[in-house]
Amino acid sequence: MRAGNVIGGGDWSQDRLIPDCVRALKAGVPVSLRYPDAIRPWQHVLEPLSGYLALAQALVQTPASAPHAVNFGPEASSFCTVREVVEAFSARFSGRPGWRHEAAVHLKEADALTLSSALAHDALGWRPRLNVGDSLSWTADWYRAHAAGENMKQYSEAQIAQYQSLPALSP
């Protein structure tokens, strides 16, 4: 199984875009971007998780026809640049943290990464339910709730329930 670039609340890892934005927001500084124009297939963490569960179910119920390798990613319309993700996330926080281009020399990264989930759709009936705008809103809302001291177990469970009630996106 493979997933696109995953975002969502509760990620505090180093060198990941949204957690870096949250830390920059808290510090009151712009987030530093190595490759602001790099294009990635952004999706909310609940998307591949739902795909993993669909695949697990297929492996139990119909193992002979379940795919052996499958991608779970967003619709092509949710592929966007690192810069666009930071700007959309920042818009949910009155334009902060914003971003700056990190001029240091870094290892080269691919300019554009894409992912086809056609097999997941054809073999499992799986489709994403959130577009990139909704994924970023849900993510920003989670971090805002966390900063406000809300009960994050309840908040996360509510997001999961809301996600489960959504229809799949049209291709």
Chain segment 155-164, per-residue pLDDT in tens: 999 999 999 9
Residue 170 is predicted with a pLDDT of: 86
Q: What is the pLDDT of residue 105?
A: 67
CA quadruple 153, 42, 73, 130: dihedral, nearest 10:
60
How confident is the model at residue 171, as a pLDDT?
Answer: 78
**Domains by residue range for the chain, with CATH:** 2-165 (3.90.25.10)
- What is the residue-wise DSSP string for 135-168? HHHHHHHHHHHHHTT--HHHHHHHHHHHHHHSPP
Percent of the chain at pLDDT > 90 equals 92
**pLDDT class of 60 with cuts at 50, 70, 90:** very high
Say whether pLDDT at 97 is over 90. yes
- The predicted pLDDT at position 104 comes to 76
Q: d(Cα 161, Cα 168) in Å, to the nearest integer? A: 14
Contact of 12 with 146, CB cutoff 8 Å: no
Instruction: Please give the average per-residue pLDDT across 98-120, as a whole number.
Output: 89
Tell me: pLDDT of 29 over 90: yes
Helix/strand/coil for 107: coil
pLDDT of residue 107: 76
DSSP 133: H
pLDDT of residue 154: 98
* CA angle, residues 96, 28, 140, in degrees to nearest 5: 40
Mean pLDDT across 54-58:
97
Phi, psi dihedrals of residue 5, rounded to the nearest 5°: -70, 115
The stretch 4-32 carries a mean pLDDT of: 96
Do 123 and 66 meet the contact criterion of CB atoms below 8 Å apart?
A: yes
102: which 2 tokens? 């990190």
